[in-house]
Chain A
Amino acid sequence: MMQQHEFENGLSDYLRGDLLPEQQRQMEGYIEQHPETLEVIAGLQEILPLAERVRQDLPAAELLEQANAGLLARLEREQPIPKEPRRWPGWLRPAYLSASAALLAVIAAGLLWRETRSVALAGVAEKMMQLQSFRVEGWVLNEKGVRTPYRQWLKVPGFIRAEVGEGAEQRIVVSDGTWKWIQLPGGAVYQEAVPPREARTIQEIGSRLHLNDMVAQRIEENAHQFHREDLGEIVRFTIWYSASLGSGPSDQQLQVEVDRESRLPRRIVFSWRQGEEWQVLSELNYGEYNADFPAAMFQVDSQAAPVPQELLETLWYERSISPLFALFPVSPMPADGLEVLFGPFEARGKGSSGMSQVALGGIAYCDFHHYPLKEIVKVLTGLPAETADEVLGQQGVTLKVNYLEKLPWPKIMARMGPILGVRAELVQHQATRTRVTFVQDGRDFPVKTRWWGGGSLHVSTQDSVSRYTFEGAKLTDLIFNLFFNSRHTGFNPDLDTLVFRWDGPPEQNPFAREVDLEWTSSGAWEENYPPLQERFGVHLERIAEPYTYAVLVLTPHADLREDPPALQVGGAVLDAFPNPGNPAVEIPYILDREAQARVRVFNALGQVVRTLDLGEKPAGSYSAYWNAQDEQGQPVASGRYLYRLEVDGLPTPARKLSIAR
């Protein structure tokens, strides 16, 4: 009689037909007696042919030759092996080892510093992150492309002072990590709270300077080129890479000059490529490390007159100034507070849906991909949106938009409505919501039995049975956990509220006590409520109350629909098709003016794999075709690629495609 493990061990051979007839019969007999194995067999029958396809995939014949040639060249560069390895007398070893350990540490540090690039930069970051304060001085290009003097002082934990521009144009930005003030020459002050996500510290600046270990390694991997120069006291790292800046990706260059001895930066120069030229965006000198900057530097005259409302509009640019400004001097400022960079394009065929949102300096950068129109409006306005026509609401839209976070919804929809083809109206909805209140009847109850360690809450469900194990858990946490892990609570998280009520002195608050509970149930609230009542004297009260909430009602207005705005540079690529491609891929693109068009395909390392010169074309929609071959006509490997359109040499945002062979 065949045993289960024998069946399992022979199953893949059986499915491949590799068994002898007798073994095969035994397997079939076992399967007949155990019909549950059919499911396992069906699963493996799916995987084995896929693995077989991998097996059939053979490398090109010349690859071995090329690999061997490269290997031999590398082996030849190896140092010859000393015939007689030097042997140290036994009595010398301890001394030798202790001395060599110190020496090795020095050599290792030297090697890291000299030979590896990301490690060297990470070391710089580490040093910076230990600082208490430093000063930056130099210039940055402002939004009008004019070199503007720039000085900045930073001090832990989050003090920042930046002076930008001169004379009547000067702005002083001061932050204590919680508040940010912008002071104009006339004394006017604009004040706003710094959102926690923007509260910067030197530590974070260090990490955001692209110098932390992980990021430095990524830069290294993605860098087109990485160069190190020894200039006496200074070591200069130059890194060329591609990254998104402003309205799209661009080739960028970061030059970091580091003091050889202190390993702290002295100068950082940031440039980007405009056509064939490199344009320097900022040139900043670093110094006054750990200087004791007076506290007064980080205070403003809070008695100063506030900025008049009309001036606020002109302050958008200054509001975006942040400690990161040193590295990202060109903060793309949305025109009129909102700028559509790409799209909207309606979803074509099936595809993944998603969105990303980054906020910096009060500006939100949103990228929607096949995202429901209703949800886009919700993200942009911060208000729930509804459509009578559900198809309209769920319509997938691809769109890239930058906007000021504080822009009121009417302004947003005045701009976005025509673009999305909808009108928005704010409607107040009436609803009833329930206030769920837990009260305790004042009785005493057993507290936790274990007096050490922190509390733990654990819920597991198996075979429709939920097991709750709470040890030393605060009663509020226990109730909260039990309630939200239960079915049939009748709680609507979008509307209802949950509160714990205790009217006595805080030190006697029973909800703050730590208790134990082990409980097993089907997970229904009817079963989970009794232990709260019986053991802890906790009761639940439900109070229904009317509730008014605002919602944007969207109605379609096809006649309002504007043509998708193309990029500032005059064109854009759309989704490649098919994606993944095998082997040819169609790359649709649009030009909104007559221009010289070129599509470039990059591999994951940012190297150009293929350039498709498309010639001069009038405005319109076109398609480029890539046969998944490189410039030498060799098929490219399976994997992900980036592609982008260049309009008269100006890059547009890149998109991704995959090649699957």
Chain B
Amino acid sequence: MPDSAQATAEAMDRYGPLILRIAWRLLPDPEEVKDIYQETFLQFHAATRRGTVIDHPQAWLCRTAMNAAFKRQQQKRRQADEEAATPVYAGDKEIEQALLVQQVRELAADLPARQRDVFVLRNFEGLSFTQIGEVLQCTEESARASEYKALQKIRAWMDGYRRGEP
């Protein structure tokens, strides 16, 4: 087996479940998730074939998957925005809650890259700040600061939406 194929197979084995979970939590659609998953590992394969040395495969794969998922999520949102507003019947707590969860998913996509990555890994993946530091190659303190900023931004945006701001 060529080296790149070997490396891809090992990465799939080791990080596949993590990448699938990340994709799912950002865009819970089975077809999209499969596409993101495959795109991520195909890119990994292509990079290793080209001879690129990937020092931190987990970080590389997480970032690639997150970028792909957020890109698709934004495309879907743009498409949805272009359509006429869908009537929403409020009042059902469960539904409102589900909408808020979806809103958090979508707002995460609008964060600056570092804050977004930390927010996703900490809150959606449940990684500790030490693990996040390893994945994103940053200090634990910097990850903590990024998460705080991300939470503040999401909170401010959600308040803005409630006030009807675009």
Interfacial residues, chain A to chain B (CB-CB below 8 A): 5, 8-12, 40, 43-44, 46-48, 50-55, 57-60, 63-64, 66-68, 70-71, 74-75, 78, 80-81, 221, 349-352, 354, 356, 367, 369-370, 575, 577-580, 582, 604, 637-640, 656-658, 660-661
Contacts and interface: CB of A to CB of B under 8 A. Distances in A.
Contact of A68 (B12, B45, B84, B145): B12
B144 A10 contact: yes
A-B pairs with lowest CB-CB distance, top 4? A51-B123, A9-B144, A637-B29, A351-B87
A582 B87 contact: no
14 contacts: A8-B145, A10-B144, A43-B155, A47-B104, A50-B103, A54-B123, A57-B25, A59-B33, A63-B34, A75-B5, A75-B41, A75-B45, A369-B84, A661-B98
Given A50-B101, A63-B34, A580-B98, 20 more contacts: A12-B148, A12-B151, A44-B151, A44-B155, A46-B155, A50-B97, A51-B104, A64-B17, A66-B30, A67-B33, A71-B37, A71-B38, A74-B38, A74-B42, A75-B41, A81-B4, A350-B91, A578-B95, A580-B95, A637-B29
Given A64-B16, A67-B38, A70-B38, A640 B124 contact: no
A9 B145 contact: yes
A200 B162 CA distance: 41
Contacts of A356: 84
A354 to B, nearest CB: 5
Given A46-B155, A54-B123, A582 B147 contact: no
B104 A50 contact: yes
A580 B152 CA distance: 28
B37 A638 contact: no
B125 interface: yes
A59 B158 contact: no
Contacts of A44: 151, 155
* Most chain B CB neighbours (cut-off 10 Å) among A67, A640, A657: A67
B122 A12 contact: yes
B130 to A, nearest CB: 12
Contacts of A578: 89, 92, 95
A8 B148 contact: yes
B23 to A, nearest CB: 8
Contacts of B125: 55
A75 B42 contact: yes
Interface residues of B, number: 65
Interface of B: 2, 4-5, 8, 12, 16-17, 20-21, 24-25, 28-34, 37-38, 41-42, 45, 49, 76, 79-80, 83-92, 94-95, 97-105, 119, 122-126, 141, 144-145, 147-148, 151-152, 154-155, 158-159
A55 B21 CA distance: 9
Contacts of B79: 221, 604
Contacts of B87: 351-352, 369-370, 575, 579
Contact of B37 (A46, A50, A67, A352): A67
B86 A47 contact: no
Nearest to B102: A660
A55 B123 contact: yes
A575 B101 CA distance: 24
Given A54-B123, A55-B25, A354-B84, A66 B34 contact: yes
Contact of A67 (B20, B102, B154): B20
A81 B16 contact: no
A8 B85 CA distance: 38
Given A81-B2, A351-B88, A60 B30 contact: yes
* Most chain B CB neighbours (cut-off 10 Å) among A50, A57, A74: A50
Contact of A63 (B33, B89, B145, B155): B33
Contacts of A658: 86, 88
Given A57-B25, A75-B5, A579 B89 contact: yes
A351 B151 contact: no
Contacts of A12: 122, 144, 147-148, 151
A45 to B, nearest CB: 10
A350 B94 CA distance: 16
B30 A637 contact: yes
Contacts of A10: 144
A54 B105 contact: yes
Contacts, number: 170
Contacts of B94: 582
Contacts of B154: 47
Contacts of B104: 47, 50-51, 54
A221 B122 CA distance: 33
A351 B89 CA distance: 6
A572 to B, nearest CB: 15
Contacts of A58: 21, 24
Contacts of B92: 578
Contact of A59 (B5, B20, B97): B20
A77 to B, nearest CB: 10
A63 B155 CA distance: 33
A44 B122 CA distance: 14
B155 A656 contact: no
A10 B119 CA distance: 14
Given A12-B122, A51-B104, A66-B34, A640 B25 contact: no
Given A43-B155, A59-B20, A369-B84, A637 B90 contact: no
B148 A51 contact: no
Contacts of A580: 88, 95, 98-99
Given A369-B87, A580-B95, A656-B84, A11 B148 contact: yes
A47 B85 contact: no
Nearest to A11: B148
A296 to B, nearest CB: 43
A54 to B, nearest CB: 5
A120 to B, nearest CB: 21
Contacts of A639: 29, 76
A196 to B, nearest CB: 24
A354 B123 contact: no
B127 to A, nearest CB: 11
Contacts of B31: 637
A53 B101 CA distance: 7
Nearest to B126: A55
A187 to B, nearest CB: 45
Nearest to B3: A81
Given A64-B20, A638-B102, A656-B84, A48 B12 contact: no
A582 B96 CA distance: 11
A80 B45 CA distance: 12
Contacts of A11: 148
Nearest to A44: B151
A81 B7 CA distance: 14
A48 B158 CA distance: 13
Contacts of B119: 51
Nearest to B141: A9
B89 A661 contact: no
A12 B151 CA distance: 9
Contacts of B20: 59, 63-64, 67
B100 A71 contact: no
Contacts of B144: 8-10, 12
Nearest to A83: B2
